[in-house]
């Protein structure tokens, strides 16, 4: 029975990994970053410690994000990262290997899905099950997806935005976009570089997005100072930037997500469309925390949109709930390894 208690639900995200442990809840939330020695490939640090090295490492150390747009970009490093996190949660026991439910974006190919399953098994799982992110997010947000009603979910993560309509435990219509929170950061870096000839790092861009980022123009504009390297003089420089500028910077990425939402809405069967009009759209994922994103969605769709209670942990919580009902939900899981 002890082995069962070590069952894990894992949200293997582009930006962070969250792990749910049966009976304990969310036990780990760390960045999906690994720092290694360039020559030998030896792992020096994983997670938070490795993220702190991003952009600051000497020439012989590289900090890698092994997940890109929700899929494995570096198989070996992903496996090492997963192995480290599983050991951190479960200890080094060879006897009690955990049963793992792991999440993937809905648009992943069979090859990408198999890579995730294999990496999970190599990292020390006894059994691995795969579930699509929108289903996990919907379950984690507290929706009853087993009923014959339509539920619409938008999961805006770091690397992917998954938009799906779910009914009777399965995905009816979905769209998976490789545009999400990370793209907002890249847009901000590019905008400030082009407008102010100022180079800022990923962390600074993320801070700007969190502090003053918005999906719609604000009545009272927010301002903050940002430091970077002046590309003309090469010296450090500080400028003041407003929320409307951040909106301008990220507008194309926002447009792409909104277009994805419209595509899904156009394909919804009429019987389910009325359910969604009544219930609204649920937003999950860290990208969904962007100020006024819910209002923007409501405005363009004409349907109320709500941010889930714990948007960042919905996918991991959903994977955890699946663990409790693994035998019931087996038909809805994509694939499994024994």
Binding residues for ATP, as ranges, are: 158-160, 206-209, 286-289
Q: How far apart are CA 134 and CA 290, in angstroms?
A: 19
Q: Locate tokens 């400030």: which residue?
A: 192
What is the crossing angle of helices 243-267 and 293-301, to 10°?
40
Encoded tokens for 195:
């407008």
Contact, 103 vs 12, CB < 8 A? Answer: yes
Query: With 0-12 CB in 10 A as exposed, 13-18 as middle and 19+ as buried, what is 54?
Result: middle
Closest listed residue to residue 143, CA positions, set 160, 168, 113: 168
Length of the chain measured in residues = 338
Q: Locate tokens 């792990």: which residue?
A: 19
Q: How far apart are CA 289 and CA 166, in angstroms?
A: 22
Closest listed residue to residue 328, CA positions, set 53, 202, 139, 194: 139
Closest listed residue to residue 131, CA positions, set 93, 103, 97: 103
Contact, 242 vs 222, CB < 8 A? Answer: yes
Enumerate the known binding-site residues.
158-160, 206-209, 286-289
């Amino acid at each position: 029975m002890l082995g069962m208690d070590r069952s894990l639900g894992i949200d293997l995200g582009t930006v962070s990994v969250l792990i749910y442990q049966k009976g304990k809840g969310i036990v780990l939330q760390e960045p999906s970053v690994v720092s290694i020695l360039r020559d030998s490939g030896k792992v020096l640090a994983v997670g938070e410690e490795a993220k702190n090295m991003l952009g600051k490492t000497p020439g012989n150390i590289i900090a890698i994000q092994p997940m890109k747009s929700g899929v494995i970009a570096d198989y070996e490093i992903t496996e090492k990262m997963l192995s480290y996190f599983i050991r951190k949660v479960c200890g080094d026991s060879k006897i009690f290997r955990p049963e793992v439910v792991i999440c993937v974006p809905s648009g992943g190919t069979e090859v990408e899905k198999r890579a995730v399953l294999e990496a999970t098994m190599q990292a020390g799982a006894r059994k691995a099950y795969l579930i699509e992110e929108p289903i996990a997010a919907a379950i984690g947000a507290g929706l009853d997806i087993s009923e014959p009603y339509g539920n619409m979910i938008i999961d805006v993560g770091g690397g992917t935005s998954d938009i799906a309509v779910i009914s009777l435990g399965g995905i009816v219509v979905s769209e998976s976009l490789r545009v999400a929170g990370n793209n907002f950061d890249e847009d901000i870096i590019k905008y400030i570089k082009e407008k102010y000839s100022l180079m800022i790092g990923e962390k600074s861009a993320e801070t700007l997005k969190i502090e003053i980022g918005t999906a719609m123009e604000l009545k009272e504009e927010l301002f903050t100072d940002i430091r970077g390297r002046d590309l003309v003089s090469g010296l450090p420089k500080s400028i003041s930037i407003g929320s409307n500028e951040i909106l301008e910077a990220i507008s194309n990425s926002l447009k792409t997500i909104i277009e994805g939402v419209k595509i899904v809405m156009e394909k919804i069967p009429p019987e389910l469309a009325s359910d969604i009009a009544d219930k609204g759209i649920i937003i999950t994922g860290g990208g969904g925390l962007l100020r006024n994103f819910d209002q923007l969605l409501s405005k363009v769709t004409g349907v109320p949109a709500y941010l889930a209670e714990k948007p960042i942990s919905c996918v991991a919580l959903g994977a955890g709930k699946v663990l409790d009902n693994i035998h019931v939900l087996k038909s809805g899981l994509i694939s499994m390894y024994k």
